[in-house]
Amino acid sequence: MASAPLEVAGIAVSPDHYIDGRRMPSHRQFELFSPIDQRLLGHVAEGEPEHVDAAIAAAQRAFPAWAALTAAERLPMLERFADEIGKRADAFCTLESNDAGVLLSRMRHGVVPRAMLNIRWFAKHALGLQERPIDTEQALHRVRHDPAGVVVIITPWNAPLMLSTWKLGPALAAGNTCVLKPPEWAPLTCSLLADAAHAAGLPPGVFNVVQGTGATTGAQLVADPRIARVSFTGSVPTAKLIAQAAGANLVPCSLELGGKSPFIVLEDADIEAAAATGALMYRNAGQVCLAGTRFLVHERVAEAYVAAMRAVVERLTVGDPRDEATEVGPIIHPRQVQRVLGYVQRAVDGGAKLLWGGGPHPYGAQYVQPTMLTGLKQSDEIVQNEVFGPVLTLQTFASDDEAVALANGTDYGLGGVCYGETAHAAAVAERVRTGFIWINSFGIRDLEAPFGGIKRSGVGREGGDWSFEFFCDVKDVVLPKKPFKPSFSHR
């Protein structure tokens, strides 16, 4: 029997798994706290081996019929899924701002519309996944993109709704069935997604949610030999474990991981514009993989840049993510607060200078001041490691070559930002080794474009056709043009 729903700020949401079209409770549960004030939001099902098994089995059973549909037949069902997300917009906003600490305004204007688009856009785009003919002298090759099977999707707490739909959209549209393991620190919107899918009439087993912690439930899911793909967004250490477990069964993984991206300000940059964009790196309290967290500023404009950015940062409103005026919300978990402040303390102990911030924010225990450190060496821990909090570093450079060397001088390679005269900035950006880089802008995303990182920031690309390449098995059906003559010497 399904458990009683959790009630969060007047919104009811199931704490159970969603398997084979039904809610399934667990004997074991984990506690869920709000990052806003650490109040207990409730208890959520902890996935046990029987739930993992049931979800994968349900997805396997549902696969042949779902895969046999054409993209045009799946389209109306997935459009209804997007509509049902829209109907629950307020609930999604309330839940994710309460369990993940995401700004309510950002949920309303950014995340929920994007979640709907993630489902709708890929469902439509899948119509173009027709056979691609390759016509040669010898044969007609009918190149097909067939659904791969059961896809396991694992997402992190900093953007659960956005990232889960970013993967579910193309996976389902291509004809796969899915098992989603939400992040244990922010699992509620993924549970509500199951309600939306159910109301949309997705057949049982096509989309399943198994709640639980990573080391137990997540690890069991990715090690299961019945799965065909793992799409993971999260940290580097977890990605290594997942790649090992999936690799044991030769299951392909898409890994979207952390970043330590450069934010380059060239001598010919528009300083005010670069400063206004620079302050955006504190969005979501800096818990954003693609943020440019290492400021590299030309030495001749560094003083002016620091003054301009300080003026913007001083006006930022830190506080409760449910308030419309808030621009910087809480850190997800007390453990993460300690981790972030530990990085700052060690940097300061090592000789770094604070330009602003540097400690807990008076608003509350879960809040950290927007911080900027300088006086750093490239080898310093805080320059090399992802902090995942509102903590940025600033280094100066004297030439483009030096800027590029600093930009490329970490093991990460997710994204980047480059401010400067457009042609100059584009030329520098070309030399920065990352998966993407924004010129005189930040955060422009199109679903058609590839997304992903190089080096420790990830393996593979998602977005547009790249998502379908990952979630599909490519098959070449070869039809000879002339009668085939069997021969042992023929190539």
Q: If binding is defined by CB under 6 A, does position 258 make contact with ligand NAD?
A: yes
Which position's Cβ is nearest ligand NAD?
Answer: 214
Among 46, 96, 195, 256, binds ligand NAD (CB under 6 A): 256
User: 267-306 mask for ligand NAD (x: CB under 6 A)?
Assistant: ----------------------x-----------------
Query: Is 289 part of the annotated catalytic residue set?
Result: yes
DSSP assignment, residue 69?
A: S
- Whether the CB-CB separation of 131 and 159 falls below 8 Å is answered with no
Among 15, 42, 156, 319, binds ligand NAD (CB under 6 A): 156
Q: For ligand NAD, give the closer residue by CB, 175 or 330.
A: 330
Give me the half-sphere count of Cα atoms (radius 13 Å) on the Cβ side of residue 300. 7
Q: Kindly give the interhelix angle for 160-173 and 89-99, rounded to the nearest 10 degrees.
A: 130
Q: If binding is defined by CB under 6 A, does position 158 make contact with ligand NAD?
A: yes
Q: What angle do CA 399, 455, 331 make, to 5 degrees?
A: 90
Q: If binding is defined by CB under 6 A, does position 241 make contact with ligand NAD?
A: yes
Q: If binding is defined by CB under 6 A, does position 259 make contact with ligand NAD?
A: yes
Transcribe 75-139 into DSSP letters: HHHHHHHHHHHHHTHHHHHHHHHHHT---HHHIIIIIHHHHHHHHHHHHHHGGG---EEEE-SSE
Find the part of the chain contacting ligand NAD (CB under 6 A) among 72-80, 116-124, 152-160, 344-352. 152-160
- Whether the CB-CB separation of 189 and 96 falls below 8 Å is answered with yes
Strands 261-265 and 292-298: parallel
Q: If binding is defined by CB under 6 A, does position 157 make contact with ligand NAD?
A: yes
> How far apart, in whole angstroms, are the C-alpha atoms of residue 23 and residue 4?
11
Q: For ligand NAD, give the closer residue by CB, 235 or 408.
A: 235
Tokens 């570093």 belong to 393
Q: If binding is defined by CB under 6 A, does position 242 make contact with ligand NAD?
A: yes
User: 173-192 mask for ligand NAD (x: CB under 6 A)?
Assistant: --------x-xx--------
Of 97-126, binders to ligand NAD (CB under 6 A) are none
Query: Is 79 part of the annotated catalytic residue set?
Result: no
Q: For ligand NAD, give the closer residue by CB, 99 or 256.
A: 256
Residues 37, 99, 105, 198: what is their CA dihedral angle, to the nearest 10 degrees? -160
- Give the contacts of 135 (CB within 8 A, at least 6 positions apart): 141
Strands 371-374 and 353-356: antiparallel
Shortest distance in whole angstroms from residue 47 CB to ligand NAD = 10
Q: Which residue among the candidates 178, 190, 253, 289 is catalytic per the annotation?
A: 289
Among 215, 423, 454, 479, binds ligand NAD (CB under 6 A): 215
List interacting residues with ligand NAD (CB under 6 A).
154-159, 181, 183-184, 213-215, 218-219, 222, 233-235, 238, 241-242, 256-259, 289, 386, 388, 414, 453, 458
Active-site residue set: 256, 289
